[in-house]
A and B are shown apart, each in its own frame.
Chain A
Amino acid sequence: MYYIENVDRKLFIYTIKDVYRLEASMQEIEKMTADTDLVRISRTCIINTDHLKEIKQVKNSRLEAVLDNGEMLIVSRKYLQDIKKVFRRDLS
């Protein structure tokens, strides 16, 4: 799974081949995925860090997460600490 996105209050899971509709809220998914490699990167998106290729800062402004399938997703600065936590946990 690459990421979960909230589009008009509907959640979608994006996998390698397909897109699935999910009957849940972002908060519920966030609770379910606590202490996993899934992490929230913006108000509308939760990514699987296993597929994260890099975080880019575009011209000292907007932040983007580049996935290993080439997709780019906007990252809110507020959630950078949460992404760091996932990698810190993997270290320990």
Chain B
Amino acid sequence: MKKILKDACILAALMILSVFAISIIWSGITDETVLVLRLFVLALIISSANHIMDEYISLPIIMIYTVKYFTITGIVMLFGFISGWFYPSNFWMAFIYVGAVLVLAYPIDSFRIKKDIEFINKQIAERDAREAASPDINEKDARP
């Protein structure tokens, strides 16, 4: 199910890009195409920032999400101001938009990590059981 959803999102993104690319060719750049292109650029920047944070920051999950929340909100605000999405009076809306996404992402991420750990530990336990069942071949001693 997860893979189908992921593939559906990628396909939707490709469809949007294709439709708007053809639209640009036929009718030139419109407000809608500018908005879509800006959203893709914003998504690229946020994904890059997320990748860098995952690579270089090693913190507890709550702390990582807090850091991500403020970093991504900062990026959205800056990008929003440059693109003219926000007025000085409503820039704080970025906190709500980003917060809503992260509130959804946090439990999904936590659940996924829990399942991944369970899977890995189960495989280790099964491997150890197999090794214990065949004591003549002490695989661990033969390992590099």
- Residue ranges of A at the interface with B (Cβ–Cβ < 8 Å): 1, 42-43, 48, 50-57, 59-63, 68, 74, 76-78, 80-81, 83-84, 87, 90-91
- Cβ of B60 under 8 Å from chain A: yes
Most buried by B among A51, A52, A53, A55: A55
> Which secondary structure dominates chain B's binding surface?
helix
Q: Number of contacting residues on B, CB 8 A?
A: 26
Say yes or no: A90 contacts B127, CB within 8 Å: yes
- Cβ of B62 under 8 Å from chain A: yes
Say yes or no: A60 contacts B61, CB within 8 Å: yes
> Which secondary structure dominates chain A's binding surface?
mixed
Say yes or no: A55 contacts B120, CB within 8 Å: yes
Q: Can you name the residue of chain B whose Cβ is closest to the Cβ of A58?
A: B60
- Cβ of B47 under 8 Å from chain A: no
